[in-house]
Chains A and B, each alone.
Chain A
Amino acid sequence: MENENQLDSFFKISFDADAREHLKTIVLWARICAICAFISYTIALIVAIFGKTVSPTYSEQSYQVSSNLKTWTIASALISGIIGFAINYFLYRFTAEAKQGLDVVDQVKLNDGLINLKTYFKIIGVLFLIVLIIVGLVLLFVIIGSLGRGTY
């Protein structure tokens, strides 16, 4: 009985006309975000692969440096592209399913869309966490390094 009341209390909030209007705009702009990101990552990869690496001299050493630089550029564009595509895939799926849910008033579709939005923010959160840990470790090593130098 208590559980039933708990379940029932959730139904007091709905996606009313105001909320639906907000959600429609969210879906529109989220789709723009996702599509722009897909195109941007593709272009960044093309630029990384076919772009010229500027070298002031034509010595063998500078050729080696420029070749290494190009490899790094392509690798970083590829990695950021894969991560970016994965994140924005979920954002795009959110827009597609939420739009369908709003258009045909389908609660299940809307919930599926929200699950994709949750995954989108979850991946970003995990990436933030990883960056935070890396920055923390770098700071720790810098502090330990400076303390170590201070003792000699």
Chain B
Amino acid sequence: MEENPNQSLIDLTVDYDAANILGEIARWTKFIAITGIIAICCLILVLFFGGNGVVSRIADRYLSGSENLRGFILFAIVIVVALLGVIVFLLYRFSALVKKGIDIQDQDLFNKGLHSLKIYFIISGTLALITLISNVSGLFKL
């Protein structure tokens, strides 16, 4: 069985340009992820020290001060913070794995990095859809 000599020409490769571009993407995503981690830590600190005040304000403003829904609000805040944490972690994982994959020429690491970016965009897309639905509902309230 003779190997096709043109196979490498047909395949999409991580050539010099692509490696440079992916390296820059990795650098910016790492910056965004680190900034995001700092922001989430600040948010957790604020919630830890002033969580009761935040929950009370939200309950007073949107739920007419309903006491029963305080637990639900706290749960929703924790979920949002956790989701933000997952998004930031995925972005950091993508940047680290893709950079390392290109540096040491490891296809497996490179693919794992792309897998992280894939999950990042799936979560972002789902959140974008939820935002769109909430905006459409706002349109009907006009």
Contacts and interface: CB of A to CB of B under 8 A. Distances in A.
A2 to B, nearest CB: 14
A33 B124 contact: yes
B114 interface: yes
Give the secondary structure class of B's interface: helix
Interface residues of B, number: 46
Interface size class of A (residues with CB under 8 A): 35 or more
B32 A125 contact: yes
Contacts, number: 143
A7 B14 CA distance: 10
24 contacts: A10-B13, A10-B14, A11-B8, A11-B14, A13-B102, A13-B106, A14-B12, A15-B11, A19-B107, A19-B110, A25-B118, A25-B122, A26-B117, A29-B118, A32-B128, A36-B125, A39-B135, A40-B128, A43-B138, A46-B139, A51-B138, A117-B25, A124-B28, A125-B31
A121 B129 CA distance: 20
A96 interface: no
A117 B27 CA distance: 13
B107 A13 contact: yes
A115 interface: yes
B139 A125 contact: no
Interface stretch (B15-23, B59-67, B72-80): B15-23
Interface in A111-132: 111, 114-115, 117-118, 121-122, 124-125, 128-129, 132
Interface string B130-142: 0110011011011
A43 B135 contact: yes
A7 B32 contact: no
A32 B129 contact: yes
Contacts of B89: none
Interface stretch (A56-64, A65-73, A101-109, A140-148): A101-109
B52 interface: no
Contact of B18 (A46, A50, A52, A111): A111
A30 B12 contact: no
